[in-house]
Structure 1
Amino acid sequence: MTSSSVASSAPSFRVWALGGIPEVRAGDDLAKLIAAAEPGLVDGDVLLVTSKIVSKAEGRIVEAADREAAIDAETVRVVARRGPLRIVENRQGLVMAAAGVDASNTPAGTVLLLPEDPDASARAVRDGLRDALGVDVGVVVTDTFGRPWRNGLTDVAIGAAGVRVLDDLRGGTDAHGNPLGATVVATADELAAAGDLVKGKAEGLPVAVVRGLSHVVASDDEPGARELVRSAADDMFRLGTSEAVREAVTLRRTVREFSDEPVDPGAVRRAVAAAVTAPAPHHTTPWRFVLLESAESRTRLLDAMREAWIEDLRRDGKSEESIAKRVRRGDVLRNAPYLVVPCLVMDGSHTYGDERRDTAEREMFVVAAGAGVQNFLVALAGERLGSAWVSSTMFCRPVVREVLSLPSSWDPLGAVAVGHAVGVARERAVREAEAFLTVR
């Protein structure tokens, strides 16, 4: 076999920009405009259409003296913010800069919004070309995106019709026979990027054609580009840094009912690593975290604490019925699959020999320990673990130290129940920050 015959049999495709598309105005029929440009389409071609002309044809130009207000109106959720730049989830479910609101390629005082339903827009163009030219082509509506971890912009598919947007290779094998366990190719995005190499806003070339990849053209039943949007449950990078911190703080709720699902000890250790970044006086480390990972250790501690609590309540003159009710309220710790006992240590503290200053010194350490516990609780929430910080170990510190064989200098600061929450937490009551502020 000659080298030329090998080359001719190798997979290949062509991509070119389609000229002759006039300025698009509201109400124009895009399929008719494309057909009038005599594109020479054949069955199996893929048409790549820039979203800007789709938006113009659909009348998605709106007057907006303030682009920021238009972005607000199109935003469902802020993903990340840095200065004036916002990465948001928009009404179409796309995560992108400025919600896709474009102030270029549109008259002054107006902005261009993305198509309301890009998949429906792609279907309309596909159907229109079938009627006008009698061809069966795939259609991809494209827009320009930035990407996490990568510099530069590229076109991606935001709408599609008659195209296999994903090519799922899982279950197959590579050239060496290795199983493919996670390979799903974003075919529609690859097509969009190929088209961007030949299209151009400035050159007035908003449409491109790909030929030679007929295997990606499919029936009308094929799901659209919406299939490319990763669900929130599968999105490991759903938020920017500051937004992730705020969401974790918001997610931190007191959970009193846990499932039987085991707790990942690694997640707890990662939360401890976050806890010990809290501020502390005199460059000290006033936190210690005792992890009760075995059921035996948890039961032994809680049984001893219960006996100590019952004795205290009896000394207070409580009735046996009242004692039983109070003890039951402490079952949140007993029902948790994992317990953590945070402790305060005063290593590195100063002694002044003055009651006022010595009291203040201890208070500084207590505040620092509390900051560490808060970090711990927030980090647990970030790991999608529920928690409840219960103060009970503080009322029987000698018992806790004895059962857990802790140094006498360690002061237990309650216990944290950790686990996977049962059900959905109730909505938190709104607390307006202004109610807690005093400005001088």
Structure 2
Amino acid sequence: MTAPSYTVWAVPGLPEVREGDDLAKLIATAEPGLVDGDVVLVTSKIVSKAEGRIVAADDREAAIDDETVRVVARRGTLRIVENRQGLVMAAAGVDASNTPAGTVLLLPADPDASARAVRDGLRDALGVEVGVIVTDTFGRPWRAGLTDVAIGAAGVRVLDDLRGGVDAHGNPLAATVVATADELAAAGDLVKGKAAGLPVAVVRGLAHVTGGDGPDPGARALVREARDDMFRLGTSEAVREAVAQRRTIREFTDDEVDPGAVRRAVAAAVTAPAPHHTTPWRFVLLESAAARAELLDAMRDAWIADLRRDGKSEESIAKRVRRGDVLRRAPYLVVPCMVMDGSHTYGDERRDAAEREMFVVAAGAGVQNFLVALAGERLGSAWVSSTMFCRDVVREVLRLPAAWEPMGAVAVGQAAGEPKARGERDVGGFVVVR
């Protein structure tokens, strides 16, 4: 049995590519011996030049801004962004090298369409069925160095899904999807080189990765969907995003809440600042339906009694109780409490009041940390102040120490729908500069 093998070589003799050039004809002239099943690897730079993607730009940063859809991470002047093509990469793929001064080179507007055009052109020129991959150079998280990856493809199985099969020992393959197009791009980069002036390579011997029935997904299939991207943001961006995306959620699905996610949020909560090196936070987790019902029934009765003392009509009371049912609609409740262990007593009303306020602020910071961390866990939440109005009832039902002060309650669960967009707030309206 012959061992599997393939051959890869760079294509010499290609001229300097200019706007309007027919890349397929240039490649066919330089490498007329292409055969069915070959894979042609084309550096994106010459595709961009042929397609006129050179633009005047004295300021490369402005060009990056124009090509950016979303900033993923920023460190100094370096930006990792999602660009118009949906690719997450440094500087949106804007290239200021090998292009005249005062200009920059943008990536092809539609790299998959570019690959299809080259493939069709080679079929017309040489009568061959080949795969075509448009490549570009990427850095990668957690790995030093650069490598070429596929940003456009035609006639190539860009992903080889092995899930459902077994390995050599009979173990089931549950998560193995091979990025075939990226592996081919990297193989071509070994012979093209970064500075050798060889922008095209050919791989022969892997005809099984070309052709195929059905629609051609192109290299777009290699881009991970946002919902599956566990590393969608850099560290500081993720913090800002979690804060910005935190919403008060009032409608929840019936899906269970992962207790581990709530405990991770508590771990974030207790990193908040606090006076005198104290730990003024306690979080009571109501994980059983019985515990939630017992607390909420007792709180409802206490609220109704308060409203009756205020002289509210029974109809008004019923409406208020219905509106306040957000805690009942949640599959998980948390009651944050403040404790003042370690607080100072001064015997002076003004100073003692300020001491208590410090602890209240620290408790609020812990609750905010908790809410933001829940958002980071993709859990919806709503902070409701109701337990603060019936602290004795809450302590009695939950059997809490007398010194624990309930500071509201947090409803937790999967949001039943997309929250409404928050209106823009002008930061200047909240800032006073002296």
TM-score (norm: length of structure 2) = 0.98
- Match of residue 401 from structure 1: 395
Question: Could you say what secondary structure the match of 2:187 adopts?
Answer: helix
Question: Could you say what secondary structure the match of 2:345 adopts?
Answer: coil
- Match of residue 145 from structure 2: 152
Moved >4 Å (runs of 4+): none
Question: Could you say what secondary structure the match of 2:192 adopts?
Answer: coil
- Match of residue 45 from structure 2: 52
**1:218-297 equivalences in 2 (<5 Å):** 218-219=211-212, 221-297=215-291
Contact in 2 for aligned 1:394/1:413 (Cα 8 Å): yes
After superposition, what is the alpha-carbon deviation per residue over 1:125-175, rounded to whole angstroms, capped at 9, x for unaligned? 111111111111111000000001111100000001111100010111000
User: In structure 1, which of residues 37, 40, 52 is the aligned counterpart of residue 33 of structure 2?
Assistant: 40
2:310 aligned with 1:340: no
How much does 1:204 deviate?
0.9
After superposition, what is the alpha-carbon deviation per residue over 1:280-311, rounded to whole angstroms, capped at 9, x for unaligned? 11111100000001111111111111111111
After superposition, what is the alpha-carbon deviation per residue over 1:394-435, rounded to whole angstroms, capped at 9, x for unaligned? 011011001000000000001111111112111111111111
Q: Which amino acid aligns with 1:196?
A: D
Task: Indicate how the Cα distance of structure 1 residues 38 and 255 shifts in structure 2: closer, same or farther if over 3 A, else same.
Answer: closer
2:78 aligned with 1:85: yes
Contact in 2 for aligned 1:18/1:39 (Cα 8 Å): no
Q: Which amino acid aligns with 1:194?
A: A
2:147 aligned with 1:161: no
User: In structure 2, which of residues 9, 24, 27 is the aligned counterpart of residue 16 of structure 1?
Assistant: 9
2:69 aligned with 1:76: yes
- Match of residue 352 from structure 1: 346
Question: Could you say what secondary structure the match of 1:291 adopts?
Answer: strand
CA–CA distance in 1 between the matches of 2:123 and 2:298? Answer: 79
How much does 1:202 deviate?
2.1
CA–CA distance in 1 between the matches of 2:32 and 2:125? Answer: 12
Question: Could you say what secondary structure the match of 1:197 adopts?
Answer: helix
User: In structure 1, which of residues 365, 368, 373 is the aligned counterpart of residue 367 of structure 2?
Assistant: 373
Q: Which amino acid aligns with 1:208?
A: A
**Aligned CA-pair RMSD:** 1.0
Question: Could you say what secondary structure the match of 1:438 adopts?
Answer: coil
CA–CA distance in 1 between the matches of 2:28 and 2:256? Answer: 61
Contact in 1 for aligned 2:296/2:328 (Cα 8 Å): yes
CA–CA distance in 2 between the matches of 1:326 and 1:35? Answer: 77
- Answer with 173-182 or 126-135: which moved more: 126-135
User: In structure 1, which of residues 292, 301, 312 is the aligned counterpart of residue 295 of structure 2?
Assistant: 301
After superposition, what is the alpha-carbon deviation per residue over 1:219-254, rounded to whole angstroms, capped at 9, x for unaligned? 483221011011111111111111111111112111
How much does 1:274 deviate?
0.6
**1:128-139 equivalences in 2 (<5 Å):** 128-139=121-132
CA–CA distance in 2 between the matches of 1:307 and 1:414? Answer: 17
2:116 aligned with 1:123: yes
User: In structure 2, which of residues 97, 100, 107 is the aligned counterpart of residue 114 of structure 1?
Assistant: 107
Contact in 2 for aligned 1:286/1:346 (Cα 8 Å): yes
2:185 aligned with 1:214: no
- Match of residue 376 from structure 2: 382
User: In structure 1, which of residues 23, 26, 31 is the aligned counterpart of residue 19 of structure 2?
Assistant: 26
User: In structure 2, which of residues 166, 172, 194 is the aligned counterpart of residue 173 of structure 1?
Assistant: 166
- Answer with 58-67 or 311-320: which moved more: 311-320
- Tell me how many residue pairs correspond in the alignment: 433
- Match of residue 102 from structure 1: 95
Question: Could you say what secondary structure the match of 1:116 adopts?
Answer: coil
- Match of residue 182 from structure 1: 175
CA–CA distance in 1 between the matches of 2:359 and 2:212? Answer: 68
CA–CA distance in 2 between the matches of 1:281 and 1:352? Answer: 15
User: In structure 2, which of residues 358, 368, 379 is the aligned counterpart of residue 364 of structure 1?
Assistant: 358
How much does 1:352 deviate?
1.0
TM-score (norm: length of structure 1) = 0.97
CA–CA distance in 2 between the matches of 1:434 and 1:12? Answer: 64
- Match of residue 3 from structure 1: none
Contact in 1 for aligned 2:9/2:191 (Cα 8 Å): yes
CA–CA distance in 2 between the matches of 1:219 and 1:60? Answer: 31
How much does 1:38 deviate?
3.2
- Answer with 418-427 or 402-411: which moved more: 418-427
Contact in 2 for aligned 1:166/1:184 (Cα 8 Å): yes
CA–CA distance in 2 between the matches of 1:227 and 1:259? Answer: 31
Contact in 2 for aligned 1:144/1:153 (Cα 8 Å): yes
- Match of residue 425 from structure 1: 419
Question: Could you say what secondary structure the match of 1:429 adopts?
Answer: coil
Q: Among the aligned pairs, what percent are the same residue?
A: 85
Question: Could you say what secondary structure the match of 1:297 adopts?
Answer: helix
CA–CA distance in 2 between the matches of 1:121 and 1:74? Answer: 18
Question: Could you say what secondary structure the match of 2:262 adopts?
Answer: helix
Q: Which amino acid aligns with 2:46?
A: I
- Match of residue 433 from structure 2: 439
User: In structure 1, which of residues 313, 316, 328 is the aligned counterpart of residue 322 of structure 2?
Assistant: 328
Contact in 1 for aligned 2:32/2:126 (Cα 8 Å): no
2:216 aligned with 1:197: no
CA–CA distance in 1 between the matches of 2:395 and 2:194? Answer: 71
- Match of residue 391 from structure 1: 385
CA–CA distance in 2 between the matches of 1:322 and 1:139? Answer: 70
Q: Which amino acid aligns with 1:310?
A: I
Q: Which amino acid aligns with 1:401?
A: R
